[in-house]
């Protein structure tokens, strides 16, 4: 009987307040979303060409803005690196993996939204000796994809392979 009174008495009690009660009264922040995805660019007639900057090549359709850039860069105290830039708008503070696929290899390179001049674009760099660059090391077509920035089909060229070889030799 006493047990029934104790159980019956506690069943009528309300639970103590919790932090969950506070969440209902606080205004919700507006959710932030990534920009609308870009379509994949048309790369018919696109080529690699030497840049005005030393140890750098750019890829695009002649007469149109470039789509990609590759540069061999010197890093203090470490080995040479290759920097890839997907010249497409990136949301401030964003990061992603750029996938290089081709020539029997796949490489995933971390890229971040990087401000260059008045634009924010995708950019990443890793050691030139890293095997993630192997898709560029061959005579076949390669694709470069950043989520939301479309897939760039890279037409066959010896220039990326030569830049990679030169950068690795430094």
Give pLDDT tens digits for 85-107.
999 999 999 999 999 999 999 99
What pTM value is reported for the model?
0.79
> Which CATH number goes with the domain that contains 125?
2.60.40
- Model confidence at 123, in pLDDT bands (50, 70, 90)? very high
Q: Is residue 4 part of a domain?
A: no
- Model confidence at 26, in pLDDT bands (50, 70, 90)? low
Burial of 138 per CB tally in 10 Å (0-12, 13-18, 19+): middle
Q: Is residue 39 part of a domain?
A: no
More confident residue, 152 or 30: 152
Q: Is residue 132 part of a domain?
A: yes
pLDDT recorded at residue 144 = 98
pLDDT recorded at residue 150 = 95
* Residue 17, pLDDT above cutoff 70: no
Nearest to 94 by CA among 73, 51, 133, 123: 123
Q: Is residue 21 part of a domain?
A: no
Number of domains in the chain: 1
* Residue 24, pLDDT above cutoff 60: no
Range of the domain at 146: 47-169
Q: Is residue 79 part of a domain?
A: yes
Mean pLDDT of 51-75: 96
Q: Is residue 58 part of a domain?
A: yes
Mean pLDDT of 136-153: 96
Contact in structure between 103 and 139 (CB atoms under 8 Å)? yes
SS3 annotation, 94-145: CEEEEEEEECCEEEEEEEEEEEECCEEEEEEEEECCCHHHHHHCCCCCEEEE
């Amino acid at each position: 009987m006493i047990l029934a009174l104790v159980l019956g008495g506690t069943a009528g009690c309300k639970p103590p307040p919790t932090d969950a009660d506070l969440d209902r009264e606080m205004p919700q922040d507006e959710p932030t979303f990534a920009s609308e995805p870009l379509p994949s660019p048309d790369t018919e007639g696109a080529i690699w060409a030497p840049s005005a900057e030393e140890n750098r090549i750019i890829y695009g359709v002649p007469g149109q803005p470039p789509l990609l850039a590759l540069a061999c860069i010197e890093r203090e105290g470490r080995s040479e690196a290759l920097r890839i830039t997907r010249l497409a708008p990136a949301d401030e503070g964003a990061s992603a993996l750029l996938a290089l696929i081709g020539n029997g290899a796949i490489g995933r390179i971390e890229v971040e939204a990087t401000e260059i001049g008045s634009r924010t674009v995708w950019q990443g760099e890793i050691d030139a000796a890293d095997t993630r660059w192997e898709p560029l090391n061959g005579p076949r077509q390669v694709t470069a994809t950043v989520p939301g920035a479309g897939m760039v089909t890279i037409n066959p060229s010896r220039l990326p392979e030569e830049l990679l070889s030169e950068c690795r030799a430094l």
